[in-house]
Amino acid sequence: MTNPASSSEVVLDGGMLSIDTVYQVGLGQVMPRVTNDSLVLKQLAASKAVVDTAVAENKPIYGVTTCFGGMADVAIPNELVNASQRNLLAFLATATGEPVSSRHTRAAMLLRANVLLQGKSGVRREIIDRLIRFICADAIPVVRELGSIGASGDLVPLATIGRAITGHSSRCQILLDGQQIDGLAALKKLELEPIELQAKEGLAIVNGTSFSSAIAANCVYESQTLLAMSLAMQAMMLRALNVQHEPFAAFVHQNKPHAGQLWTAKVMREFLGAESKNGNSTNSIIQDRYSLRCLPQYFGPIVDGMAHVSEVIATEMNSVTDNPLIDSAEQRFYQNGNFLGQYVAIAMDDLRRFLGLLAKHLDVQIAQLVSPEFNHGLPPSLRGDDSRIYNMGLKGLQITGNSIMPLLTYFGNPITEHFPTHAEQFNQNINGLSWTSANMAWRCVDLFQDYMAVASLFAIQAVDLRAKQELGHFDGRALLQKPLVPIYDAIYNACGEKTGQKQPFLGHDDDRWLEADLQMLKQGLKPGKGVISAIKPLVDSFKAAFEV
């Protein structure tokens, strides 16, 4: 499979896609195409032939020669098999709410195409080609945020894609060339004809976890960056608090060798310069408070957890999750429950909890930074200039951070166990709520970016003020170890400010409009921006250490 890191194209053959690839296709940075590998295409045709034979022999096959769900005991005569597949897309046209991001929809189409290429779902290549054609033309179906319980996969959202790509009447909307137009108009503009669905093809499109997996993959990618950024901000804050280095020593963590703890402690030693025997802090207390001293032990389980979430989503998004599955070698259909979204749901519940824990930890550090009782001589509320007695520093910014953190911890509560037990004639009497959990996680990612902007301003302001105390100037870079300097610079640059000034980031309270700084910083955390580039080495370190 083509490596998107060195190419703008990825070749789909049903093999493993990485989360990075899914993310890049979602952004429109990488374009997919279908393989010409004869073995893959032969397997695809073989599974379709199994379906055609079953229909010709009038075998009772769920969703092929029967109705769906709780009405599976209703037989469909041969002459109505194709009409039943069209009707599947029609009765699932029930979504509501706001549209989801086009990034998710592109990623979902990619994943659906790739798993269908595994040749276990009984579809023609034409269906897969159409999915890819829409991605490459940037023709993105408008999919709404409410309508899936993650039971039989993402039925309603995937049916929206199905109606769009097949030209199933005009009952869908498509974003194309900056306009939102109906499905038939989009097909005409793309010079495509409607596709007449055949046996099982409608079911193969809608029955699976590809959409919730796509949202989850985007959440995982963004969260890996936020994890790294959190650790970097922790390091700056700890330097500003003159943290003691001894708790990060390799000896300590070799005696409690959890992988996440070991990695966190190693990174902190590099960020704090703690490898040097002369690198310990000058603070006078016997030992630091728990939020400082126990950082690797607190952060480590989150690191391990995020690595596990990444593995779960990578497995799920590459899995064949429709029902029934087809073993073309044995000419056999397998009833199954691979469509249940439980893995995605629990993984996204966990991810939201981890983001809440990261925010709460940063919130505790900020509270110490602004309090003279705990910050070892920094000004109250990190005010940048005490020549004005009424300067309040970052007092208002702390309140903003305090308003976001409880939202993140609240969203960290699990949704999965709240599933309805009576869905669809009690047929879907357990369901994963993966779609809901993943969409909640995406909301948390966005909220955490807001929080990270807040935390970043506290970090650089605190470092600048400590530099003035220790070195006589406000250039915080002089206090930082080499790996942190590009991140510090990127935060300044994102706010349109030069480093090395004769005052801290914020001098007098009215020198800066912090609201505008927060918006610029949040943009700096978006794909391709400066802060993301600066933090990339640490993200790469995480991925390499945990093979995700």
What are the pLDDT digits (tens) for 520-536?
Answer: 999 999 888 899 999 99
Is the confidence at residue 52, as pLDDT, over 70? yes
Lowest mean pLDDT segment, chosen from 106-120, 216-230, 278-292, 446-460: 278-292
What is the number of other CB atoms lying within 10 angstroms of the CB of residue 165? Answer: 30
What separation in angstroms does the CA of 439 have from each of 144, 286, 349?
11, 46, 11
d(CA 122, CA 55): 12
**Using CB atoms within 10 A of its CB, is residue 13 exposed (0-12), middle (13-18) or buried (19+)?**
middle
Burial of 7 (0-12, 13-18, 19+ CB in 10 A): exposed
Peptide bond into 324 cis (omega under 30): yes
DSSP 209-257: SHHHHHHHHHHHHHHHHHHHHHHHHHHHHHHHTT--SGGG-HHHHHTS-
Separation between Cα atoms, residue 16 and residue 118, nearest integer Å? 10
One-character DSSP codes across 38-50: HHHHHHHHHHHHH
Question: Please, what are the domains in the chain?
Answer: 9-207 (1.10.275.10), 217-330+343-546 (1.20.200.10)
Spatial CB neighbours of 62, under 8 Å, sequence gap ≥ 6: 72, 323, 324, 333, 335
Q: What is the pLDDT of residues 116-168, one digit of tens each?
A: 999 999 999 999 999 999 999 999 999 999 998 888 889 999 999 999 999 97
pLDDT value, residue 1: 56
pLDDT at 377 over 70: yes
Q: If you compute the radius of gyration of the chain from its CA atoms, what whole number of angstroms results?
A: 27
The amino acid sitting at 271 is: F
CA dist 122 and 115 (Å) reads 11
Contacts of 50 (CB under 8 A, 6+ apart): 122, 326, 328, 331, 332, 333
Q: Count the helix, strand and coil residues of the chain and give each as a percent rounded to the nearest 5.
A: 55, 5, 35
State the pLDDT at residue 7.
Answer: 63
What pLDDT is recorded for position 214? 98
Model pLDDT, residue 70: 85
> What are the distances in angstroms from CA 414 to CA 350, 433, 464?
8, 10, 40
**What is the spatial distance between Cα 88 and Cα 67, in angstroms, rounded to a whole number?**
9
Is beta strand 96-99 parallel, antiparallel or unpaired with respect to 144-146?
A: antiparallel
Kindly state the average pLDDT of the residues 390-401. 97
pLDDT, tens digit (0-9, with 9 covering 90-100), for 198-239: 999 999 999 999 999 999 999 999 999 999 999 999 999 999
Identify whether 62 is a catalytic site residue. yes
Structure tokens at 283: 């603070």
Residue 278 predicted with pLDDT over 50: no
pLDDT reported for residue 69 = 82
For the stretch 6-18, pLDDT in tens is 469 999 999 999 9
pTM comes to: 0.95
Count Cβ atoms below 10 Å from residue 491 Cβ, excluding itself.
28
Spatial strand order in the sheet of 179-182: 140-141, 173-176, 179-182
305-340 per-position pLDDT tens digit: 999 999 999 999 999 999 999 999 999 999 999 999
Helix (H, G, I), strand (E, B) or coil at 529: coil
What does the alpha-carbon distance between residue 248 and residue 264 come to, in Å, rounded to a whole number?
9
Q: What per-residue confidence (pLDDT) applies to 527?
A: 85
Give the model's pLDDT for residue 458: 98
Per mean pLDDT, which range of 59-73, 100-114, 206-220, 394-408 is the poorest?
Answer: 59-73
Select which of 23, 62, 221, 334 is catalytic. 62
What do you get for the CA distance between the two ends of the chain, in Å?
Answer: 17
- For residue 407, the model assigns a pLDDT of 97
